[in-house]
Structure 1
Amino acid sequence: MLSIPEIATQLIDKTLTNVSENNSRTIFLVGSKSVGKSTLLYSFLEKNDQPRETLVVEYSFGRKSNQKQGIDKILCHIWEYGGKLETLNNVLQSTPICGKFFFCIMVDLSKIKNIWETLETCTQVMNDVYSTTHNSPELIIICGKYDLFKNYDSDIKKFICTTLRSFALLNHAHLIFYSSKEAQLLRRAKDMLFNIGFGNCIPIKEKNTNYTKPLFIPKDSDNWESIGIPTATIDQVKVRHMSRIPPNAVNSNSHTVMSSQMHAHPEATLDSLVAFKYNELRNMESLDIPIDYLLSLSA
């Protein structure tokens, strides 16, 4: 007689066998901290509650009837990563992919010194994890907080847009500007998610390359002549960008480890929760084994 885990494994294997691009999609959303990833997903999924901070990774899904298949449903799996980008590799390797796969990088246009690092880190990890698999994702770059970026100096806006367009062109990525505070951009971003989650991907008919307006450029529809710079490699684009907008200096004190037990996690919020639980254990009258001894075993 099969055990419960064995039965569950068989059910999962059977489900995955029947998965296809027609009835299953996967969206993985990653990027800058506090750029509005959760707000965008809540709006897309029509959740009315207030978005909460994503500590590491959260899963949600959407379901829609498939008109071609009658009673069959299209299931869209959505993974949102809110942890540090340094640990993204481990999360991606353990994330199940079902059907057509979309990898969405969300950058904060109001923090221009972090744009390149976010793009480079996320795409590098994506390429490292999926370069040898059949689940090669379609890349989408979502540039959030356009409501703040649009008030920047015209020359800076043009320069940033040139960098973003060059990066998207070299990585065969879709590029879209977004703001949760502007109804038209919110609707366009929601429509994009709906199309990749349940429809026929991103429509090519809508396009804007004018840096004075929100960019919307489907993949492989841009060119160097339109961007306005000579054909370049990714390294040349990086040098050009960094020469004018260097990244923020790294604070060496931020890497100091105060205690191996208190800083076993890459997130400050998780560290505080661990410390709180350890203090609870120390105060338990029924605990016979000293907690300090247990902590020394994991040192």
Structure 2
Amino acid sequence: MPRASEALWELAQAEAERGGDAEGAAEKALLFLGSKAGGKTTIILRCLDREEIPKPTLALEYTFGRRAKGHNTISSHVREKPKDIAHFWELGGGTSLLELTRIPITSDNIRTFAIVLVLDLSKPSELWSTMESLLQVTRNHLNKLITKLGKTNPKVATEIREKMWNSMQKDHPDYELIDPFPIPLVIIGSKYDIFHEFDSEMRKIICKTLRFVSHYYGASLVFTGKPDTLLLKARILINHLAFGFERSKSISVDQNKPLFIPAGLDSLSQIGPPPASDSDIGKLYAHTPLDLWKKVYEKTFPPMRNSDLKDSKDPALDPQYAEYEIDAMRTQKNQELEQYKRNASKSWKEMELES
């Protein structure tokens, strides 16, 4: 017969797996990644109603927020209602720290996790490569976790695979044509105030492309920028994922206005074909619809070369700004970062073995 402490521990584990506690509070987590200096920190702070001045994110940073369940009314005779907790992780450095994406998401919390991809609309030549790199690495990690869960806990793995299709109605005409992301995904196009000044044809290509990518992955799409009022709809999507707030069913697909398309509300027929002539499309060799859209997009916005993507303006790399003590400290910090990544990876593997 199990001891009382063992029984309590089993109950606690069961509650954690359901994403809640005995009081009814739930825990969710979001990983923000995307374009370097694309506005991820600002979005997180505004979603948490914090008026702090954003600081550059150096590697992987963490914060959290709480929201009361239902109406936050407190009386002298009633205890304060439990608060849902949302964990916010942010990956800095654009695509330079891809390997860190695997640290926050574990086999224990994958069912309550969501991804928020922030893409800088003012840099269309970097947009596709940033999106592709980050989503590919993240998806590979998620697929590995789900495969391992399939061996140790097939019920949970099946549940995750079924949830992938939650945003898409079974009678949707594109149900058989899309490839949903393993966990909920929101794509945010930032710096809309700059993007809005682009030529109308450029805006059309970017809007259609992001609509296709979002729909293909079963993701929500929203554009944000200055003033902060443009963040309101992004907050709606994020609060839905983080705290279970009601899901918005409004939609805006006008390329002359900020896009707002919750997952499952768009369609390939409304998006239309890739923005290129039939003859041009016929000359392109592509393995998948996603690959075709990539080739059409990059014909208008050629991707930057790897050498161009390096931060050439970084004073630390410029010999004329060399300073021995500062450079030595920077080298030490770089070594500490590498050690941190190795330790995190090691801890990650140990956690998996223990679980």
Query: Per-residue displacement from partner, 1:234-257 (whole Å, max 9, x unpaired)?
Result: 1111111111211112328959xx
1:26 touches 1:197 (CA, 8 Å); kept in 2? yes
Query: Per-residue displacement from partner, 1:67-88 (whole Å, max 9, x unpaired)?
Result: 4998332110110110342432
- Counterpart position of 1:293: none
2:59 touches 2:97 (CA, 8 Å); kept in 1? no
- Counterpart position of 2:101: 91
| AA at the equivalent of 2:238 | L
Task: Tell me the distance in 2 between the aligned counterparts of 1:120 and 1:106.
Answer: 12
Give 1:171 deviation, angstroms: 1.0
| AA at the equivalent of 2:49 | E
Task: Tell me the distance in 2 between the aligned counterparts of 1:253 and 1:153.
Answer: 24
Query: Per-residue displacement from partner, 1:148-192 (whole Å, max 9, x unpaired)?
Result: 00111001100111111111111111110011x124312222232
1:94-113 matches, within 5 Å, as 94-96=104-106, 97=109, 100-113=112-125
- 1:70/1:18 Cα in 2 relative to 1: closer, same or farther (>3 Å)? farther
1:25 touches 1:197 (CA, 8 Å); kept in 2? yes
- 1:74/1:162 Cα in 2 relative to 1: closer, same or farther (>3 Å)? same
Query: Per-residue displacement from partner, 1:250-288 (whole Å, max 9, x unpaired)?
Result: 328959xxxxxx99xxxxxxxx96722779xxxxxxxxx
Give 1:52 deviation, angstroms: 1.0
Query: Per-residue displacement from partner, 1:86-110 (whole Å, max 9, x unpaired)?
Result: 4323432454436522101000000
User: What TM-score, normalized to structure 2?
Assistant: 0.64
Q: Percent identity?
A: 29
| AA at the equivalent of 2:197 | N
| AA at the equivalent of 1:108 | D
1:81-230 matches, within 5 Å, as 81-96=91-106, 97=109, 100-132=112-144, 133=146, 134=157, 136-179=182-225, 181-200=226-245, 202-203=247-248, 205-229=249-273
Equivalent of 1:240 in 293, 296, 307: 296
Task: Tell me the distance in 1 between the aligned counterparts of 2:290 and 2:9.
Answer: 41
Aligned residues: 253
Give 1:40 deviation, angstroms: 1.1
| AA at the equivalent of 1:105 | L
Give the root-mean-square deviation of aligned CA atoms. 3.2
1:27 touches 1:103 (CA, 8 Å); kept in 2? yes
Gaps (5+ residues) in structure 1? 1-10, 256-261, 264-271, 280-299
Task: Tell me the distance in 1 between the aligned counterparts of 2:328 and 2:292.
Answer: 46
Task: Tell me the distance in 2 between the aligned counterparts of 1:273 and 1:16.
Answer: 47
